[in-house]
Structure 1
């Protein structure tokens, strides 16, 4: 990534990292992402934090909003597209605290975790998907 030393990555830079992760997904997953929207914001809004019972905005790095593929039926056609929201500041904070991995790796981890919710995957399946996209 080409950026000035000392400046944190922008939302666009994090989005580019997330898109690279999506591009590395095995085809059996990538072809089913359909109209999932990817957004990067600085923080989750208060309503979302309250809905999830999270007090500290730094406690949420990403969220999947939508109906998992495993729960869909024809009755759900015409609904809003699913969305994955990544929260830049909490991701950067976690990256700084960990200090043992690249930011790209952490972003990939968060993206794959949220994609896992889209597919209705277990935590073990999410880890396997992360290994495949690595």
Structure 2
């Protein structure tokens, strides 16, 4: 398991986010990316979470809407990965997976596409 401080892990997430294609990020509106240690229930089985209403199910945002959140969980990802390269790959996959939920792509379709 890689040993990273919370700050180093957050930097890795930002670096992986910067590597995603512009066309994947261009449609993100009113979304914040957050790193947390682990989900509220304490599980190590959840790597990330999209918390919001997907584009396919929402109307237009109005003034004062709270942003959707994409949460990346540090401890489950560190626990899953054997080394830094595997961690980078898994953070990348987790970001793509959660961004896909923002765009309305469900888990079944993500698995079909190889991102599950």
Q: TM-score, normalised by structure 2?
A: 0.78
Structure 1 segments, 4+ long, off by >4 Å, are none
Residues 1-134 of structure 1 aligned to structure 2 (within 5 Å): 8-46=3-41, 57-74=43-60, 76-77=61-62, 78-96=64-82, 102-121=86-105, 122-123=109-110, 124-125=112-113, 127=115
Q: Considering fraction of residues, name the structure with more helix.
A: 1
Specify every segment of 5 or more residues in structure 1 that has no aligned partner in the other structure, as ranges: 1-5, 47-55, 128-134
Query: How many correspondences in the alignment?
Result: 110
Instruction: Indicate the SS of the match to 2:67.
Output: coil
Give the CA RMSD over aligned residues.
2.5
Would you say the 8 A contact 1:14–1:107 is kept in 2?
no
Residues 107-131 of structure 1: CA distance to partner in whole angstroms, max 9, x if unpaired? 111111111111112304573xxxx
Structure label with greater radius of gyration: 1
Q: Which runs of 5+ in 2 are unaligned?
A: none
8 Å contact from structure 1 (residues 113, 126) kept in 2: no
Cα distance in 2 for residues equivalent to 1:12 and 1:66: 25
